[in-house]
Each structure stands twice: as structure tokens, then as C-alpha cells.
Amino acid sequence: MSEAADDQAQTATASDQEFKELIGFLQDAKPEVQRSAAEGLCGLTVDQGFIGFCKREPRAVAKPLLRLIERAEERFAASTAAAESVAGQKQAQKVVVAAAQAGETASSALQALVNLSRLPAVQEELVRLNATRRIAESIRSGWMEGRAERAHWQAMLLANLSTAKAGREALCADEQLLQFLIGAFASKPRPPPRDCYDDPLITLGKVLGNVCALPEGRRLLAGASRGASTLTMLKGELGDRSRRPDIVNIFRNVCIDKECHQAVIDADPVEQLATFLCPWDKMSAELHQELPDRVRKALAASGATLTGDGTVRHAAASAAFGLCAEAEGRAYLRGSGFLQVAQAWLQEEPDEAVRTLLEGMIPLVQLSEEELAARSAKVEPGDEKLGGMFDGVD
């Protein structure tokens, strides 16, 4: 080893020892020491030396931070409950300070894990520590007690953890817990803004999108919650522009699964989708009249227009194309007015990839099932363009 490399190794070893000492303070008996240590580690999550240490020893940082979050949340809940019954102004002030301190500790530790969970090694370690379920349970516990002070950090951490297959599987393994997350996400009124986040639970949309990348996740989201269709609950969020990309992504993932098509049809999301997919002012009078009365009146009243978000348009076109794989989906798109919306949309669509999806989907919806069957029978071997159009058509 060269002298320079040897010096670098010694420096890394010395730094690692300092990091371990700071991590050790997370388990100190004094809450104020734990808070300072959590704040210090949160600040280090942008330090390349610390990031390198976390990649080498992910468990050394993941386990104590996760445990500290749980302990701090327990202290916060206990102090908050005690504040309601304690007697005496001085004692009440102590309880309030203790609650605030515990909340700050939990927030710093959560922020640190949100940043570090982007590292594959730390993410994998957290999943092994069952952090996905533990954090989701923490959200539920706080929610049941009327608390959501750190739900935004918790939701962000879940979003990172659920990018891993094992993290998604952990959520799918507990249907009740997953249905709680869906219910919380769609609940009204929403939790108040926190730390400059107007919508504290917005990243739960990414969690649900990650979950329905798995077949079992799609089936769970296509199921029912409290007697109502889960997809019906979620389509109500399409009107929120900040949540829209995640909701359309969820519908896209569900629509590629034939077993979920009936749930999509039952949810009937076309009217909500059309408000940002239909270029109403540029739509021909003929197409206006072909729309179902309910949809036509709704689009005229809402001032529907084609969204400028290409990601949303691509996901929506993919969802519609996915529904075309079976006759029931095609019939729904014919009868709901989506065909007319798509025809007008195609005339204004600037993205070639989206245009290709629409050009493939529109004939499948426009023709009757008898016409499709007859046309499919005429496709000559090697005619890839026409043959590809009918892939998956029954």
C-alpha cells in the first residue's frame, strides 16, 4: 500500500470511530443528549465521509436510529397524554418541554433515515429490521391518538423503503395496515401542513404506487375498504394536481393486470381523468355531442384542458391501453366517453410515445368486438404493426 493510500485508510478509520462514538450517544440515558446526537447525525447525511461509513456499516447506523425513533415517539405520546392531567404550572411546563424535546429527537432521527434510506445498503438493512412495518405501525398509532406531527417524514421513509421488493412485500403481507394507509391518504380533512409541507401525506401516493407494482399489491388496491372500492376512494384524489401523478400511476399499474379490470370499471374514473386529458375548447362539436350527457356537462362545467405534464399523459394512455386487453375494458372505454376524449387528445398530443399508445388504443375501442375479431383474422404473418395492435385482444 502506498503512503498516500495508507494515510487515507488511517483517516477513514479515525473518522469511522468518530461516527461510531456519535451514534453511541443515540442510546444515552439523557434525552437531551439523544436529541443532540440525532441532530448531529441528520446534519452528517450530506457528508461524503459519513455516507461512505453508512455504506460499509449500514446496520451500525440503521438499527440505533430506528430504535431511537420508536423510543422518542413513546416519550412524546406519554408526555402529551400527561400534559392533559398534570397539576401545577411548573410541572405542566416540564411535561410540555419533555414532549417538545422528544418530538424534536424523533424528527431529526426520521430525517436522517429518510436521507440515508436512499442508499441501497441502508435501505436493505432497514427492510431486514422490519422498518417498513414498524414505521407504518407508528403512523397508525399516532393517527389513532390524534397525532400526525411527523407523518410527513414517516411517509417519505416508507416511500423509500417500498422501492425495494421486500419493502413492498412487507406492506402487502398486512392487508389491514395497508388499508389503513390508503384510508389515511384519502381522508378528509387532511393533516395540517408541517415543516413547509402543505400535504404531509402526499408521499403515501408513491408508497401505494410502489405496492401495486406487485401482483398481490394490485389485487389489494383493487379490493374493497370499509365497504367502498379502494380505487373509487383514490379517484377522488385526481382533482389534486400535486397528487395526480401518483394516482394516475396507481391506475396505470392496476390496469395492466387483467384480474383488476373489473375494479377499475366499477370505480369509473373516466370523468375525473377527462378533466385533465380532454382539450375541451379544441374538441369538435361532433365529438362533444357523442359524449355521454353526464360527462359532457361535467367537462363543460370544469373547463377541461389537456395537462402539460407529459408523465401524467403517458401513464393515463398506458392505463387506457391496458384496459384494452379484454372486451370488458374496451366496452367500458366505448361507453364512458373515453373514446371521444382520446380522439380529441390525440390531435393535441405532442409526445410521440403517448401518440403511439393512443393510436394503438383508439382502433381497439372504436371498432365493435365483431369488427375486431374479423380484422384480427385478416392480419398476415409478419405484419408487425397491425399484429402488435391486437396483442392481448381476446
pLDDT mean across residues, the chain: 90
pTM of the model: 0.88
Q: What is the pLDDT of residues 191-234, one digit of tens each?
A: 999 988 999 999 999 999 999 999 999 999 988 654 457 899 99
Range of the domain at 100: 14-129
H helix runs in 25-57, sequence order: 31-44, 48-56
Residue 72 lies in a domain: yes
Q: Give residue 95's identity as a one-letter amino acid code.
A: V
Q: Bridge-partner residues for 224, per DSSP? A: 229
Residue 55 lies in a domain: yes
Averaged pLDDT, 327-356: 97
- Which of the listed ranges 12-16, 189-193, 351-355, 387-391 does the model predict with the highest average pLDDT? 351-355
251-284 burial, b at 16+ Cβ within 10 Å, e below that, comes to bbbbbbbeebbebbbebebbbbbbbbbbbbeebe
Q: What is the pLDDT of residues 15-69, one digit of tens each?
A: 899 999 999 999 999 999 999 999 999 999 999 999 999 999 999 999 999 999 9
Asked if pLDDT for residue 101 goes beyond 60, the answer is: yes
Q: What is the pLDDT of residues 4-13, one digit of tens each?
A: 444 454 456 7
pLDDT (0 to 100) of residue 13? 73
CB–CB of 171/204 below 8 Å? no
pLDDT (0 to 100) of residue 96? 83
For residues 94 and 274, the model is more confident at 274
pLDDT (0 to 100) of residue 4? 46
Question: Concatenated DSSP letters for 322-382?
Answer: HHTTSHHHHHHHHHHTHHHHHHHHHHH---HHHHHHHHHHHHHHHS-HHHHHHHHHTPPTT
Asked if pLDDT for residue 386 goes beyond 50, the answer is: no
Residue 182 lies in a domain: no
Q: What is the pLDDT of residues 317-330, one digit of tens each?
A: 999 999 999 999 99
Asked if pLDDT for residue 152 goes beyond 70, the answer is: yes
pLDDT (0 to 100) of residue 224? 63
Asked if pLDDT for residue 363 goes beyond 50, the answer is: yes
- Total domains in the chain come to 1
Is there a cis peptide before residue 189, judged by omega within 30 degrees of 0?
A: yes
CB–CB of 340/287 below 8 Å? yes
pLDDT tier at 391, thresholds 50, 70, 90: very low
State the residue for C-alpha cell 375494458: 329
Residue 263 lies in a domain: no
Asked if pLDDT for residue 380 goes beyond 80, the answer is: no
Which residue, among 263, 189, 252, has the nearest Cα to 219 in the 3D structure?
A: 263
Phi–psi pair at 162, nearest 5 degrees = -80, 0
> How far is it, in rounded angstroms, from Cα 186 to Cα 348?
32
Element (H, E) at 303: none
pLDDT tier at 392, thresholds 50, 70, 90: very low
Residue 238 lies in a domain: no
pLDDT (0 to 100) of residue 95? 83
Q: What is the pLDDT of residues 125-144, one digit of tens each?
A: 999 999 999 999 999 999 99
